[in-house]
A and B are shown apart, each in its own frame.
Chain A
Amino acid sequence: MSIAMPLIQLDNVSRWYGEVIGVNRVTVTLRPGITGLVGPNGAGKTTLMNMITGMIRPSQGTVLVGGVPPWGSLTTMHRIGYCSQVDSFFERMSGREFIESLLMLRGWMRSHARSAATHALEQLRMTPNMNRRIQSYSKGMRQRTKVALAIAHNPEIVVLDEPLDGLDAVGRHEMVELIRLFGREGRNVIISSHVLHEIEAMTNNILLVSGGYLLAEGDVREVRTSLRKHPNRVYLRCADPRAAAVFFMNRPNILSTKVEELDHAVLIETRDLDLFYSDLNTLVLDRGADVSLVTVADENISSIFGYLAGGGDTRP
């Protein structure tokens, strides 16, 4: 992939359906790499994906993929692969036939289409099942076929809507690895999922939407830092959490401490993370505390969502 990967640019994009708002005034640029698209149901994720893949036009504003609006642009559509949330297959075809036929619809020669379909299905570990009818496929196999279809024509942009749905634990793990591979290859991957820790395993770059609005975009940690009015929460596990709590309460930047007896831990709220860390060093090095775990408890998608949208919860 030596050519520059296309950017996806949305500029003041709004889309409504009758009176119902899909998305409202969204401006964002999506770069190569993996972007996690996160939000509650009805937030506008599907609308955004439909606009990026050129299936609908924005009511207002512009969507540009590689500098060109995707709607009606066949060349742009060739560069995009899409895996939808719902199944829509020709059940009587085999997985390979299905992908092959759709590739031929793009104008490919049969032999080329066949090898691309086979290769894509191989990547999705569908080789033993690819010649069976889709009718006989389990949910997991259908899911893999959809993703294979999305990547068969080697697109530069891959949009995946809930690609892990229906897969078992091993399948989920493999799919996460595959998506990370796409990211490393430099493609522009947009993935939407409700299982936040899996998105966190794939990427730090997120796009949070809710109620049709863009709540946050960018690296998880940067977003967290920008939410200045919310003090940081750090989770600390050590031999004597109560003594640690007392120590920290005496420091000016600490807002609160909460001792969790059962876990031998204390949850600390601080206004100044840097100062906290130098205090922590004092605690460990000068006071000799035996610390087994320190982590920032609210630098994950779930907590950020909570701060921005008023839902979710912090779990270290």
Chain B
Amino acid sequence: MFIELDNLTVKYGKRLVLDKMTAQLDGRSIGLLGPNGAGKSTLIKTLLGYLTPVSGTARVMGFDVVKDRMKIRQVIGYMPEHESYIKGLSAVRFLRYMGELSGLSPRAAMERAHEVLYFVGIHELRYRPVETYSLGNQQRVKLAQALVHGPKVLILDEPTNSLDPEGRDEMLHLVRDIGQISGSHVVMCSHILNDVEFCCDAVTVINRGRVVLTGIIKELKKEDLRTYDVRIEGDRERFLGAVASLGWECSQDERGGIRVKLPEGQETSSIFRIAAEIGVQLRHFHFKKDSLEDIFVSVLRESEGKIADARS
């Protein structure tokens, strides 16, 4: 358990943002999801010690966010969503600075700065001032500064923000690698659920200042091995006709995909047999699996429903 929240209540100005939030975040990498205004950035600011809770407690690696603020800051790394650099400093200098601020000796900071820049993929560019970098490279430097002191807990807020497809891909691979090889705990906030599925093992969904779902992604996504999503190359109508004539349930979606439900006793090979008999190719054949998006949307809907019920 690297983050524990117990009835955490936090106000931002006059507004109540986190409402008796209770959760235990555990595991290697967790995706923190929630609609805008749910309290994600408030939660992050509270964990970093920038906001003081009105009541309740929060602990990071066992340290209390109010009493042991500085101890938490020694072991935490933070990559904010917005741009973040110091004008006039090169990437190396910036990272040395951040490393020294985190308590590394100047020599250790120099070593780590170069090491981490290599890891995030910044090479000769590192000696030039960060304000001249492209957005993608600035994001990498942001990630690097979060890693330079080898933190035990890493908080990444929208790491693929404003990156182009190649940049997004590389960033997601980096984040996944960190989760897997470093032994640090990673908390990633993102609105792009595909990204969270790629990088994280577990998710925590918050809405209106409360936790509405926590779980391991693999367990949450129910696989239905009796229903298959299929895409055909060839005569679709004949295929549909053949399936329907056997009395099996099947449906079409507007993008040309077909969903077939296998009745009891039938194997996947039966679908192949039908396709072979008609002479169509099964270009895409996939058992039905809940997407994280479906889970997320249904969980939110449920929690909104509960709130509406509570009010009435």
> Do A's and B's CB atoms come within 8 Å in the complex?
yes
With a CB–CB cut-off of 8 A, which chain B residues contact A290? Answer: 267-269
Please measure, in the bound complex, the distance between the C-alpha atom of A183 and the C-alpha atom of B9, giving whole angstroms.
45
Q: Contact flags (1/0) for B216-245 with A, using CB distance below 8 Å? A: 000000000100000001000000000000
Interface of A is mostly: mixed
Q: How far is the CB of B257 from chain A (nearest CB, A)?
A: 12
B54 at the interface (CB under 8 A from A): no
If the complex has contacts A167-B191, A168-B191, A292-B225, are A140 and B272 also in contact, measured as CB distance less than 8 A?
no
B192 at the interface (CB under 8 A from A): yes
B293 at the interface (CB under 8 A from A): yes
A138 at the interface (CB under 8 A from B): yes
Assess whether A295 is in contact with B34, with CB atoms less than 8 Å apart: no
Tell which of A64-72, A74-82, A189-197 binds the partner. Answer: A189-197
Assess whether A41 is in contact with B35, with CB atoms less than 8 Å apart: no
Q: Contact flags (1/0) for B32-56 with A, using CB distance below 8 Å? A: 0111110000000000000000000
Q: How far is the CB of A173 from chain B (nearest CB, A)?
A: 6
A169 at the interface (CB under 8 A from B): yes
Assess whether A277 is in contact with B297, with CB atoms less than 8 Å apart: no
Range of interface residues on chain B? 35 or more
If the complex has contacts A196-B165, A311-B166, are A139 and B36 also in contact, measured as CB distance less than 8 A?
yes
Assess whether A295 is in contact with B286, with CB atoms less than 8 Å apart: yes
A109 at the interface (CB under 8 A from B): no
Indicate which residue in A168, A194, A281, A291 contacts B165 across the interface (CB closer than 8 Å): A194
Assess whether B287 is in contact with A38, with CB atoms less than 8 Å apart: no
Question: Quick one: closest A residue to B173, CB to CB?
Answer: A313
Q: How far is the CB of B43 from chain A (nearest CB, A)?
A: 15
A305 at the interface (CB under 8 A from B): yes
With a CB–CB cut-off of 8 A, which chain B residues contact A311? Answer: 166
Question: Quick one: closest B residue to A306, CB to CB?
Answer: B166
If the complex has contacts A41-B134, A312-B165, A312-B169, are A294 and B33 also in contact, measured as CB distance less than 8 A?
no
Indicate which residue in A140, A172, A285, A302 contacts B276 across the interface (CB closer than 8 Å): A285
With a CB–CB cut-off of 8 A, which chain B residues contact A285? Answer: 269, 272-273, 276
Assess whether A295 is in contact with B285, with CB atoms less than 8 Å apart: yes
Q: Which of B37, B134, B268, B275 has the most CB atoms of chain A within a 10 A radius of its CB?
A: B268
B281 at the interface (CB under 8 A from A): yes
If the complex has contacts A281-B276, A285-B269, are A173 and B293 also in contact, measured as CB distance less than 8 A?
yes
Assess whether A40 is in contact with B166, with CB atoms less than 8 Å apart: yes
With a CB–CB cut-off of 8 A, which chain A residues contact B300? Answer: 170
A284-B268, A290-B267 are known contacts; what are 11 more A-B pairs with Cβ within 8 Å?
A40-B165, A168-B34, A172-B191, A194-B168, A195-B192, A277-B282, A281-B276, A291-B285, A292-B287, A294-B284, A295-B286
